[in-house]
Structure 1
Amino acid sequence: MQVNLKKSLYLGLAALTFASVAGASTASATNANAASHHAVKTTKKHAKKATKKNTKKAAKAVTFKVTKNLDQSLVYKSTGKNAMFTKPGGVKNNKIKASKNDMRSKVNSNSANDLFMAYQEVRTSKGVYYYKVVSFDKKVRGYVYVKGVQKIDNPTTSAAKPSNTVGYVTTNNVYNLPVGYRFGADSSIKDFNGINFSADKFNVNSAVTVYGGDTYYNVTDQSNPLINGWVKASDFSNNMPANVSTAQSEAQKAANAIHVSYVSSTNYGSTVMTKTLNPANLQNNSYYNAKDVLYAINDSLKGTGYNTTDYSSINDKGTSLVDSSKVNKGEDLTVIITPQNNPKYVNYNVSKLVDNNSFSKSISKVDNSTLKPLSISQNTYDSLFKGNDNDTFNYNNVKSQMLSYGEPMYQLTNSDSSITYTFDANLTETYAANPNLFTTNNQLIPNATFGDLNKQNANGMTGLNLIYTAKNNQTGKTDTASVNGNGVVTLFGNK
């Protein structure tokens, strides 16, 4: 019994041991199999990602090539639809050269610098076409989609020459070719080494109009054919420029002048002043007659307080001039002058307009004794109306201080206040003031003297004739009564 029990226990333990081993083996096998399946799935997933990644890297880069070289005489302008780039679209490292807004701003530009010359057509590997362009001023260069620019007609067209093809160039900007003539044209300003051609006459050979509307003339200097080129039509004139004409006239006057030294008769040998004069009527472009010289000298002394009247006071090379003397241009003369010290009052007349509606504008003198006297200071009166024969009469001062609105002589009345006289500056200066004071074109003669006014003039009057409109204060109508008289003294109560 005992022996059999031991055998059974042994067998049981053996079986348990085997079972344990078997279980362990089974578990090991199961884990190994599971690990094997997981490894397979992971490998496939990574392989799939790697395949996609490798496929993306394999995409081809965009390239381009020139399909043709374009005619560089053709001209293009922006349509404003596309920007300009440093390389065609899609090409690596491409950058914007001119934005779409920049290109749009060139659409309506009148400047030739905003035009383009397209010199290449290129095609990208994606089949898109671009032009390689450069602006006329060469400041903008790049690639633009073919619809970003459009071809235009030649920007330079023939134009009509002026009706008078001989004239003056009023600028120093003479160009080799007109600005915007064509791409690459030398439109720089020519350098003529400082030659002054402003007084030269030029011939117009041809004319063109460039993009934007500017017209240019091709010109050649008549005096120096080496001076030629293109100028804007606005810089060509058939008339000599005013500043050139003036300068030329001044230079000519200086060349034709005589030079006068004025010596005082009271302090003989003392030079009072010197003047450069241009007498009238230069004879044979070389000399003046004595009478014209005397007139010029007397005219030059107006307003100076000095006077000379005859040839004996004019010395030419040590000999006094006579009526038959001739004075060459450029000569030096000595003139003896005498100080003036005999001031006189200018005489003037008060006249009234008889018929304001009459075309002839007839007038009649007013008797000053019938007017109410005016009271003004002696100093004012003397400063305006008193002077030597050779002193300048200042009409503008008289007008502003005495004859303007609100001033003492603007309105006058007769003694019983029945008539009011109102000064009429327009009629006075147009018709009757004095031919020695106003020209036929109603221009004030600036150096008219007291002596000039007090001489009897072509109208048969002396002094200053002032015209007034007269109104009858009782009827309110223009007064037409004719009353004669003259003289200034009775006009002022204290004279």
Structure 2
Amino acid sequence: MQVNLKKSLYLGLAALTFASVAGATTASATTANAASHHVVKTTKKHAKKATKKRAKKAAKTVTFKVTKSLDQSLVYKSTGKNAIFTKPGGVKNNKLKVSKSDMSSKANSTSSNDLFMAYQQVRTSRGVHYYKVVSFDKKVRGYVYVKGVQKIDNPTTQAAKPSITTGYVTTNNVYNLPVGYKFAADSSIKNFNGINFSADKFTVDDAVTVYGGDTYYKITDQKNPLINGWIKASDFNVNMPDAVKNAQNTAQNAANAIHVTYVNRNNFGSTVDTKTINPSGMNTTTGTYGINDVVNAINASLKGSSYNNVVASDISKSNLNNLSTVNKGDNLTVLITPQTTKSPVNYTLSQVKDQGTVNQSVSELKTGSLNNVSVSQNLKDSLFNGYSNSAFNYSNFKSQLLSYGAPMNTFTGNGTNSNYTYKFNAAMTETHAANPNLFDSNNQLISNATFSDVSSQNGNKGLNLVYDVIDNSTGKTVSTTPNGTTSLF
């Protein structure tokens, strides 16, 4: 019985031990299995994420390709809606070339330099279309969204030729083709190697108007057909330009001139001056001038010189003694005599009446109604006195006596005119109407107007100085009827 009991215990322990080992083995296998499944699931998850990441990254990379070449004869202008870039939008390393703001300015520009030629159309991997463009002045090249430019029709159109197609070219800017004629057109200025064609007549052969409104004429020189090209319409004139006329007159005057040497009669025959003069009335058949025309021309040349006028007997010729006529090109010697006696210039004062109305006029102002002014004797002598044939220096006269703060700029009235102030009116004084021998018909100062000229104008009343009469109580310009004859000095 004990033997059986021991045997039973032994078998029980063995069985228990085996069960424990089996259980442990089973447990280990189960744990390993679970770990293995976990690793596989994690790897798949990471792989899936990596694939998505790569796909996302690939989706962000934008590429482009040319879809078509465009007609390069077409012209485009900016719409102002889009900028220009170095590459289509979204492409790596893309940079701004022309901002949207600048493109907006180009949209409103009338310059052909701000037009574009589009020569490629491209599509990005996102399906967006762009044009590759270049500006007419070739300073801008890049990509713009297709709605950033628009095609324009006929940037260069046929224009009407002038009604008179023969005339003169007033510029040296003769172009190979009109500026803005078309993209890549040679619009450079032709080089005619310094040829002066300003006096040549040209014929207008054609006319076009380019974008922006400038009209150009195609011209050909009638004298030299090799001189041709395009000019702006404003540089064509049917009449010979004044500069050309003057140049031709100068050349003609030089050919027809008489050469005069002026000698001081009182100073041992010393030479005072030499001049080239052109008398009027030349006989074109014989190339001669009458002696009276020569004397008048010489006296005109002495105007303002402080020398007396001459007569025919004061003139001698080096080649002939007969002074009834003088040949063009002759050399003359003229004896001139300096003036020695000065005389004062005549002057009067006037007022502006009914100023600013249709009845505005200028009337004489009696100096007796004005208070005297203080001017030194030396200043009076230097400004009012001069030789009859010496130039009257109005600018100096005005500066010393008439400018603001000078003695004759403002007068005060006396007696019944004591309520008035008299202020110098330069604008009314410095006109041909007020002083016809001192100011020309364009109201420009005649620089060589003499004391005699000034004194003899206005019916020998002389220099007419015009004043505004101001009522001191109201500050308004009024008209008065002053009287009196006393001197201002």
More off after superposition, 397-406 vs 222-231: 397-406
- Partner of 2:73 in structure 1? 73
Map 1:162-311 to 2 at 5 A. 162-241=162-241, 243-284=243-284, 286-307=287-308, 309-311=310-312
Amino acid at match of 2:223: S
Q: For residues 96-136 of structure 1, give each alpha carbon's deviation from its aligned partner in whole angstroms, at most 9, with x where no partner exists.
A: 55454444443223222222222333445655444333322
Amino acid at match of 2:381: D
> How many angstroms does 1:35 deviate by?
0.8
> How many angstroms does 1:230 deviate by?
2.0
- Partner of 1:464 in structure 2? 462
Match of 2:343 among 332, 342, 345: 345
Say if 1:306 and 1:337, in contact at 8 Å, map to a contact too: yes
Q: Distance in 2 between matches of 1:437 and 1:103?
A: 58
> How many angstroms does 1:395 deviate by?
5.7
Q: Distance in 2 between matches of 1:394 and 1:95?
A: 69
Q: For residues 249-269 of structure 1, give each alpha carbon's deviation from its aligned partner in whole angstroms, at most 9, with x where no partner exists.
A: 444444433322222223435
Taking structure 1 as reference, are residues 462 and 155 closer, same or farther at Cα in structure 2, changes over 3 Å only? closer
- Partner of 2:36 in structure 1? 39
Taking structure 1 as reference, are residues 321 and 370 closer, same or farther at Cα in structure 2, changes over 3 Å only? farther
Map 1:385-404 to 2 at 5 A. 385-394=384-393
SS in structure 2 of the partner of residue 307 of structure 1: coil
Q: Distance in 2 between matches of 1:35 and 1:439?
A: 123
> How many angstroms does 1:75 deviate by?
1.8
Q: Distance in 1 between matches of 2:346 and 2:99?
A: 81
> How many angstroms does 1:370 deviate by?
13
Q: Distance in 1 between matches of 2:381 and 2:138?
A: 76
Amino acid at match of 1:32: A
- Partner of 1:334 in structure 2? 333
Amino acid at match of 2:29: A
Q: Distance in 1 between matches of 2:28 and 2:371?
A: 147
More off after superposition, 103-112 vs 389-398: 389-398
Amino acid at match of 1:196: N
Say if 2:306 and 2:390, in contact at 8 Å, map to a contact too: yes
SS in structure 1 of the partner of residue 220 of structure 2: strand
Taking structure 1 as reference, are residues 450 and 236 closer, same or farther at Cα in structure 2, changes over 3 Å only? same
Q: Distance in 2 between matches of 1:130 and 1:362?
A: 75
Q: For residues 259-300 of structure 1, give each alpha carbon's deviation from its aligned partner in whole angstroms, at most 9, with x where no partner exists.
A: 222222234353222223232233318443322222222232
Q: Tell me the number of residue pairs that the alignment of Structure 1 and Structure 2 aligns.
A: 465
SS in structure 2 of the partner of residue 106 of structure 1: helix
- Over the matched positions of the two proteins, sequence identity in percent amounts to 55
> How many angstroms does 1:441 deviate by?
7.7
Taking structure 1 as reference, are residues 448 and 255 closer, same or farther at Cα in structure 2, changes over 3 Å only? same
> How many angstroms does 1:248 deviate by?
4.6
Q: Could you tell me which runs of 5 or more consecutive residues in structure 2 were left unpaired when the two chains were aligned.
A: 470-478
Q: Distance in 2 between matches of 1:232 and 1:141?
A: 29
Amino acid at match of 2:37: V
> How many angstroms does 1:214 deviate by?
2.2
Q: Distance in 2 between matches of 1:372 and 1:135?
A: 75
RMSD over aligned CA atoms reads 4.9
Taking structure 1 as reference, are residues 270 and 150 closer, same or farther at Cα in structure 2, changes over 3 Å only? same
Say if 1:167 and 1:203, in contact at 8 Å, map to a contact too: yes
Say if 1:176 and 1:188, in contact at 8 Å, map to a contact too: yes
Q: Distance in 2 between matches of 1:188 and 1:428?
A: 49
Q: Distance in 2 between matches of 1:155 and 1:390?
A: 66
More off after superposition, 240-249 vs 197-206: 240-249
Say if 2:260 and 2:277, in contact at 8 Å, map to a contact too: yes
Q: Distance in 2 between matches of 1:314 and 1:372?
A: 52
Q: For residues 195-228 of structure 1, give each alpha carbon's deviation from its aligned partner in whole angstroms, at most 9, with x where no partner exists.
A: 2334444333332222222222222333332222
> How many angstroms does 1:27 deviate by?
0.7
SS in structure 2 of the partner of residue 339 of structure 1: coil
More off after superposition, 190-199 vs 239-248: 239-248
Taking structure 1 as reference, are residues 226 and 376 closer, same or farther at Cα in structure 2, changes over 3 Å only? same
Structure exhibiting the larger radius of gyration computed from Cα positions: 1
Q: Distance in 1 between matches of 2:20 and 2:88?
A: 73
Q: Distance in 1 between matches of 2:104 and 2:412?
A: 74
Q: Distance in 1 between matches of 2:368 and 2:176?
A: 80
- Partner of 1:27 in structure 2? 24
> How many angstroms does 1:42 deviate by?
1.7
Amino acid at match of 1:178: P
Q: Distance in 1 between matches of 2:92 and 2:394?
A: 87
- Partner of 1:146 in structure 2? 146
Say if 1:177 and 1:230, in contact at 8 Å, map to a contact too: yes
Amino acid at match of 2:284: N
Q: For residues 70-106 of structure 1, give each alpha carbon's deviation from its aligned partner in whole angstroms, at most 9, with x where no partner exists.
A: 3222222233344444455566665555454444443
SS in structure 1 of the partner of residue 337 of structure 2: strand
Q: Distance in 2 between matches of 1:12 and 1:388?
A: 169
- Partner of 2:378 in structure 1? 379
Q: For residues 18-65 of structure 1, give each alpha carbon's deviation from its aligned partner in whole angstroms, at most 9, with x where no partner exists.
A: 533541332122112221122023213313432554476576876655
Say if 1:344 and 1:386, in contact at 8 Å, map to a contact too: yes
Map 1:405-424 to 2 at 5 A. 407=407
Amino acid at match of 1:217: Y
Amino acid at match of 1:263: V
SS in structure 1 of the partner of residue 180 of structure 2: coil
Q: For residues 416-446 of structure 1, give each alpha carbon's deviation from its aligned partner in whole angstroms, at most 9, with x where no partner exists.
A: x78999899969976797x766768877654
Say if 1:372 and 1:491, in contact at 8 Å, map to a contact too: no
Amino acid at match of 1:338: T
Say if 2:432 and 2:440, in contact at 8 Å, map to a contact too: no
Taking structure 1 as reference, are residues 311 and 133 closer, same or farther at Cα in structure 2, changes over 3 Å only? same
Map 1:83-162 to 2 at 5 A. 83-88=83-88, 96-124=96-124, 127-162=127-162
Q: Distance in 1 between matches of 2:466 and 2:150?
A: 75
Taking structure 1 as reference, are residues 64 and 384 closer, same or farther at Cα in structure 2, changes over 3 Å only? closer
Amino acid at match of 2:24: A
Q: Distance in 1 between matches of 2:54 and 2:363?
A: 111
Q: Could you tell me which runs of 5 or more consecutive residues in structure 1 were left unpaired when the two chains were aligned.
A: none
Say if 1:316 and 1:332, in contact at 8 Å, map to a contact too: yes
Amino acid at match of 1:224: N
> How many angstroms does 1:241 deviate by?
4.8
Say if 1:313 and 1:320, in contact at 8 Å, map to a contact too: no
Say if 2:343 and 2:388, in contact at 8 Å, map to a contact too: no
